[in-house]
Structure 1
Amino acid sequence: MRWVAEGKSSWEIGVILGISENTVNFHVENTMRKLGATSRIQAVATAIRLDVL
């Protein structure tokens, strides 16, 4: 989520980690679901509020 918070795209995160964009999206969406967020921005804001980011 830190890279999402920095504004990196799924493609950019995938390149950094050496995984596919689809895999990044899968993990981001799972994180969003666990945080109860409907968007990447809301997930970042929730993570910051919960002090996990």
Structure 2
Amino acid sequence: MTTYYTAADLANEFSITRRAIRFYETKGLLQSERRGRFMYYDYRQRARLII
């Protein structure tokens, strides 16, 4: 079972803004999966923010 994170979850965990998450996505550093109104990120995208 894969754990998914929202942009707000990642932003809070890494002390960055949700806008920064969206910026990284537009630059191709992160990829999200849309489910309804929300964008979700998997563990691989979270790992990219750790580095």
TM superposition score normalised by structure 2? 0.46
> Which fold has the larger relative contact order, with Cα–Cα distance below 8 Å and residues 6 or more apart in sequence?
2
More strand by share: 2
TM superposition score normalised by structure 1? 0.45
More helix by share: 1
Q: Which has the larger radius of gyration?
A: 1
